[in-house]
Amino acid sequence: MSDDSHGAARSGPGQRSAELGVAVVMALFALLVIYGSIQAGIGWGAEGPKAGFFPFYVGIAILIASAVNFVRARGESSSELFADWGQLRQVLAVVVPTAVYVAVIPWIGLYVASLILIAFFMKRLGNYGWHQIAAIAIGLPLVAFVVFERWFLVPLPKGPIEAWLGF
Amino acid sequence: MEELANLMHGFSVALQPFNIGVMFLGIVLGVLIGVLPGLGGANGVAILLPLTFTMSPTSAIIMLSCIYWGALFGGAITSILFNIPGEPWSVATTFDGHPMAQKGKAGEALTAAFTSSFVGALFAIVMITLIAPLVAAFALKFGPAEQFSVYFLAFCSFVGMSKEPPFKTIAAMFIGFALAAVGLDSITGQLRLTFGTETLLTGFNFLIAVIGLFGIGEILLSIEEGLKFRGGKAGMNPKVVLQTWAELPRYWATSLRSCIIGCWMGISPAGATPASFMSYGIARRASKRGNNFGKGEIEGVVAPETAAHAAGTSALLPMLSLGVPGSPTAAVLLGGLLIWGLQPGPLLFVEQKEFVWGLIASMYISNVVGLIVVLTCVPLFAAILRIPFSIIAPVILVICAIGAYTVHNSTFDIVLMLVFGIIGYVMKKCDYPLAPMVLAIVLGDKAEENFRQSLLASQGSLDIFWSNGLVGSIMALGLIALFWPIFNVLWARMRPARAAT
Amino acid sequence: MMKSITKGVLGAAAVVCAAQLTPAQAWEPTRPVEFIIPAGPGGGADIMARTVQGIVTKHSLMKQPMVVINKAGGAGGEGFLDVKNSRNNPHKIVITLSNLFTTPLATGIPFSWKDLTPVAMLALDEFVLWVNAEKPYKTAKDYIEAAKKANGTYKMGGTGSKQEDQIITEAIQKQSGAKFIYIPQRGGGAVAVQLVGNHVDSTVNNPNEAVAHWRAGKLRPLCVFDAKPMPYKDVIAEGKSWGDIPVCKAQGLDIEYLMLRGIFMTPGANKAQVDYYIGLFQKVRQTDEWKKLMADGAFNQTFMTGPDYVKWVATEEKRHHDLMKDAGFLATK
């Protein structure tokens, strides 16, 4: 861990509020599970327990556990940090491009999207030259194409460019 | 002694040059399949099945089973290097395998994993050779109640002692159960927790959850500490194999225990996944260095890998002798047998001696071949970690996306994978354990199914779980495992008292 | 240069067309064909589809590769929805089992056979009533009498819930008055082994799921749920052939149930495309491998296409609806 950055200089969301947030989200999830289970039936029918019987109690268990976790998190000291803003910015620098990547796959296909993602990372984070970027960003999708589509006959999502090329 | 003669004949079949060639090809393809998440062993075998139609059944099954071995070996590679388990039974390998890689000991971890896999498989093959008929009869004893007790034991032995706060463990595990419940309820044939959407119909696949929680989550965690993977200085010295081998005999007890657990799980047939978790859980308790488990303990790699391979191998026995596949891959192999005109079942061992013993002999040889192939590649695999982060990170993201997509051929699953990745990151930061959650996603619906099948049979009476010696003793073992920490505390209190007297 | 190649290709194509004497508007796949299985690996539909794939590959019956994909989620609903949502994609076909009818009825997953384009019925799968060979029952009548006396404690194992096996069990209960506890399992092979291990009292396995255990003397067939005995005369076990198994009707169980193993295409397929696949499957049926699969699994080899097939499917859907309504298996909305 990066212990060299001093506690005083760091700022960011606190560990305590993160824990409280997680507990609340889990409790909401539990409520959703309980609601769905009641829809499916939580009683004991002709075939033994109904479909919602187990998920219902599972939901209750999550609810209780997150309540306990919530109370415990409240008792914690509030000085600890979840992560500082710099770290979070780093994390977002990966999450945001990946989210865009995932979002465009249905439209432009996995191959083209992967090409752009790899090129973006290599330029932004590694600052490589265009030759190296081109080699890897074009090479990997090509290898994936050969391995998956040709060799193992597993079709991957394709977009207009592949359709134009006749695949 | 007839078996021995049969086996010798089998070796002469398996050692034909063509069959040896087929073995190498199978192992290499298998490793590749195991490395790429999404292309599981079952997938790979199914895809390559038609290729084998032109071969003799013996050569064909040798090739397909080699793909299977290769995939078992290969599953460990991504688990150790990138924390991405390619197969359900490699999850437990990540617990100590990946921390070892982070400490720069990727070579040691890979060598330990491959060697343990080999030992586990060898143990299972010897068992198949010697006591196949007995084992088949044992497998028949497992009805729904017995199956449930096995899953119960797997949960208890793994969950009983967790370092994280107990309520966080409970929350994580039960969220796993809830996710496992989504989709079709197999007992009532009714949909549940899908909220009328078509995307939730298929439920949450384990692989997508695990690629996200472990693989993507790990990338996000690494990024926090600067844009690099730890463990980049991994040694490339081939000597690492020999050094690790010198160390391994120390863990013979763990190894033997894991072999037995694995064989049992493979036959019962609960499969390799509960075997690897159970074996890891028990090793952590039995080991003197149990507290270091999860921080890169070599024993924590030996235990799950040995058990998973022993289970994966012994799962072939119920498939051959009963026609019940112990794993999805075995199910596809089973289909292959039928297509070649071989009928799996009790008579296979009588009517198709040449085929059966050829296969068993090929298991011995192909595991040796497999071990050689993967061990020579250890320095190569370890060197992957030296690739700069800005290249390897997007490549891993792309491979993860392909893996998630191929599970159901659905782009929605790629979105789900990213969501699981963020969840994994936040949970890890907040000290929630991911392993019980994954275990619950993998085994939750099967355990529930067997539990309810048992209750149907007993008409609602829980006595069925104590109705015979077998199920009763497994349940008792499970309860002991669950309350082990309490026993431990009591034991510790008694001992000083005794010392005082 | 370019031109001459094009000409050559066109010429070759013309020769091929002339040789096959196909009409001018004949269609052929231009991309790999996806063969969807709405069931898991290792089951009856899976084995049949993979055999077809193997035959097509081995005999080079198609220029493009055939890719088999399992989409078993939601009792097969995943696979059917995928085909339904791939309108006008002629490179996707699906093999069906009874879940074509049972899944939408029991779960409310929104699809019906009418959403798909019917191609051909490949075969029908038989159902046989099996008991453990250690048990004294020699006929279905004996067994049903014993089940009646047991007062609803006999267990019937089957594949899936509210699907074919449970529908047959319901029909048996209705016909005979005997009551069973139905225990759903995941696959047919597992069901047969539960019977060998005496964890259930009887099953209605397909022939190929239980034949190995019959031959090993572990299971005994009592009767077949068909109108007439199966036509296969080769001796299988105990000096008996599939043809020697009496029909259930003669045993006082007037129940006929056969499972469809048929092919459908995506919605919006045109006649040329359907005809291509019919031709393909006719070629598959001529191969020795297919004949062996049929004989090993004691299939009913009815082959149907066009209006006959549509009519058969429509009748079956109606019948499933009625049977499932009686049993209370319809999804509540």
- Its domain, for residue A143, covers 85-165
Average pLDDT over residues C269-277: 94
- For residue A165, with 0-12 CB atoms within 10 Å meaning exposed, 13-18 middle and 19 or more buried, which class applies? exposed
- Tell me the CA distances in angstroms from B134 to A65, B317, B376, one per residue in order: 45, 11, 37
- Token pair listed for A133: 């970027």
C183-217 pLDDT tens trace: 998 888 889 989 999 999 999 999 988 888 999 89
Which residues on neighbouring strands pair with residue C36, listed in sequence order?
Answer: C69, C94
Is B216 a member of any domain? yes
Quick check: is A18 in a domain? yes
C32–A154 CB contact, under 8 Å: no
b (16+ CB within 10 A) / e for B202-235: bbbbbbbbbbbbbbbbbbbbbbbeebebbbbebb
Search chain B and give the residue with CA nearest A73.
B430
What local confidence, expressed as pLDDT, does residue B203 receive?
85
- Selecting from 3.30.310.10, 3.40.190.10, 3.40.50.10300, 3.40.50.150, what CATH number does the domain C128-251 have? 3.40.190.10
A167:C31 CB<8 A: yes
Instruction: Note the pLDDT tens digit of each residue in A96-148.
Output: 999 999 999 999 999 999 999 999 999 988 888 899 999 999 999 999 898 88
What is the extent of the structural domain holding B23?
Answer: 2-133+140-232+244-500
> A162 CA to chain B: closest CA distance, Å?
17
Instruction: Look at B457 and C211 and tell me if their CB atoms are within 8 Å.
Output: no
Which residues does chain A have within 8 Å of residue B191's beta carbon, measured at their own beta carbons? 40, 51
Chain A segment 117-146 residues within 8 A of B by beta carbon are 117-118, 120-122, 124-126, 128, 136, 140-141, 144
Asked whether residue A5 is assigned to any structural domain, the reply reads no
Q: Which of A50, A59, A157 is the closest to B188 by Cβ?
A: A50
Q: Chain B 430-489, CB below 8 Å of chain A: which residues?
A: 430, 432, 448, 452, 455-456, 460
Q: Which chains touch B (3 or more CB pairs under 8 A)?
A: A, C
Mutate to test the interface with C, among B51, B188, B324, B334 (most CBs of C within 10 A): B324
ipTM of the complex: 0.91
| C32: nearest CA partner in chain A | A153
Strands C92-96 and C259-265: antiparallel
Average of per-residue pLDDT values in chain C = 88
Residue-wise DSSP of A91-143: HHHHHHHHHHHHHHHHHHBHHHHHHHHHHHHIIIII---HHHHHHHHHHHHHH
Nearest-Cα distance to chain C for B283, in Å, is 32
Same domain membership, residue A117 and residue A47: no
Q: Show the DSSP H helices in B344-464 as ranges.
A: 348-351, 353-376, 378-384, 389-408, 412-429, 435-458
Instruction: Please report the pLDDT score of residue A138 as a whole number.
Output: 94
CB distance from A147 to chain B under 8 Å? yes
Cα–Cα distance between B198 and A86 in angstroms, integer? 40
Specify if A4 maps to a domain.
no
B460 to A48: CB separation less than 8 angstroms, yes or no: yes
| Contact present, B187 and B447 (Cβ < 8 Å) | no
In chain A, the number of structural domains is 2
**Domain spans in chain C, listed from the N-terminal domain onward:** 32-125+259-327, 128-251
Alpha-carbon gap: A145 to the closest alpha carbon of chain B (Å): 11
Question: Inter-chain contact C34–A155, Cβ cutoff 8 Å?
Answer: yes
CB atoms within 10 A of CB A35: 14
Instruction: Return the amino acid letter for B83.
Output: N
Alpha-helical runs (H) found in C179-235? 188-196, 207-215
B440 contacts on A by Cβ (under 8 Å): none
User: Does B323 contact chain C (CB < 8 Å)?
Assistant: yes
Cβ separation of C57 and B140 shorter than 8 Å?
no
In the stretch 31-70 of chain B, residues with CB closer than 8 A to chain C read: 42, 46, 49-51, 53-54
Which residues in chain C are closer than 8 Å to A155, comparing Cβ atoms?
32, 34, 67
Query: Which of helix, strand or coil describes residue C227?
Result: coil
- Select the residue of C81, C187, C293 nearest B198 (Cβ to Cβ): C81
Q: Which long-range contacts (CB under 8 A, 24 or more apart) does A147-151 make?
A: A147/B32, A147/B36, A148/B39, A148/B402, A148/B406
C-alpha C45/C-alpha B8 separation (Å) is 38
User: What's the pLDDT tens digit per position in C62-119?
Assistant: 988 888 888 888 889 999 999 999 999 999 999 999 999 999 999 989 999 999 999 9
Residue C31, SS3? coil
The Cβ of residue B391 has, within 10 Å, a number of other Cβ atoms equal to 20
> Which member of C32, C161, C182 has the closest CB to residue A153?
C32
Residue with tokens 């388990």: B85
Helix (H) or strand (E) holding C318: helix C306-327
Checking if the pLDDT of C307 tops 90, the result is yes
In this prediction, residue C6 carries a pLDDT of 44
Residues of A in contact with C34 (CB under 8 A): 155
User: Do residues A136 and A103 share a domain?
Assistant: yes
Residue B237 lies in a domain: no
CA distance B449 to B435: 21
Neighbours of A80 (CB within 10 A): 12
Residue B75's closest CA among B56, B47, B94, B62? Answer: B94
Residues B492, B470: Cα–Cα separation, whole Å: 31
Tokens representing residue B58 in the block: 């013996």
**Residue A99 is assigned to a structural domain of this protein:** yes
Q: Which residues of chain B have pLDDT under 50?
A: 501
Residues of B in contact with A61 (CB under 8 A): 170, 174
Rounded distance between C-alpha atoms, residue C60 and residue C64, angstroms: 9
Asked if the model's pLDDT at residue C10 lies above 80, the reply is: no
Answer whether residue A1 is part of any domain: no
Distance CA(C154)–CA(B36), nearest Å, equals 47
Residue numbers in C near B470 (CB within 8 A) = none
- Domain assignment present for residue B238? The answer is no
Interface partners of chain C (CB pairs < 8 Å, 3 or more) are A, B
pLDDT reported for residue C9: 45
Are A83 and B188 an interchain contact pair (Cβ–Cβ within 8 Å)? no
Task: List the single best residue of A94, A133, A146, A158 to mutate versus B (max B Cβ within 10 A).
Answer: A94
Query: Which of A40, A75, A110 lies at the terminal end of a domain, its last residue?
Result: A75
- Sign of the alpha-carbon torsion through B282, B286, B291, B292: negative
How far off is chain A from C222, nearest CA to CA, in Å? 27
Smallest Cβ–Cβ distance between C75 and the set B184, B345, B346 belongs to: B184
User: Same domain, yes or no, for A49 and A117?
Assistant: no
The answer as to whether A47 is a domain residue is yes
Given an 8 Å threshold on Cβ–Cβ distance, is B168 in contact with A65?
A: yes
Asked if the model's pLDDT at residue C11 lies above 50, the reply is: no
The neighbouring-strand residues paired with C129 are: C223
Whole-number Å distance between alpha carbons of B36 and B480: 38
| A21 found inside a domain | yes
B342 neighbors B356 (Cβ within 8 angstroms): no
Distance from CA of A90 to the nearest CA of C (A): 38
Q: Rounded to an integer, what distance in angstroms lies between the CA atom of residue B140 and that of residue A120? A: 57
Same domain, A94 and A157: yes
Residue A33's SS3 state is: helix
B144 touches C: beta carbon within 8 Å: yes
Q: Are B216 and B207 in contact (CB under 8 A)?
A: no
A19 and A56 within one domain: yes
**What does the block give as tokens for B351?**
């009517």
Q: What is the Cα–Cα distance from C282 to C166, expressed in whole angstroms?
A: 33
Nearest CB to B175; choose among A29, A114, A152: A29
Say whether both A38 and A89 belong to one domain: no
Compare all CA atoms of chain C with the CA of B340 and give the residue at the minimum distance.
C289
- Is the confidence at residue C143, as pLDDT, over 70? yes
Same domain, A100 and A137: yes
Of A47, A50, A156, A158, which to mutate for an interface test with C (greatest number of C Cβ within 10 Å)?
A47
B37-60 in b/e form (b: 16+ CB < 10 A) is: bbbbbbbbbbbbbbbbbebbbbbb
CB A62 within 8 A of CB B174: yes
> H-helix or E-strand containing C36?
strand C33-37
| CATH number at C32-125+259-327 | 3.40.190.150
How many other C-beta atoms lie within 10 A of the C-beta of residue C307? Answer: 9
CA distance A80 to chain B (A): 12
Count structural domains, chain B. Answer: 1
CB contact under 8 A, A167 and C67: no
Chain B residues near residue A154 by CB distance under 8 angstroms: 39, 43, 47, 406
Task: State the Cα–Cα distance between residues C68 and C56, nearest whole angstrom.
Answer: 12
Burial class (CB in 10 A: 0-12, 13-18, 19+), A77: exposed
Nearest neighbour of A125 by CB, restricted to B390, B411, B456 = B390
**pLDDT band at C132; cut points 50, 70, 90:** very high
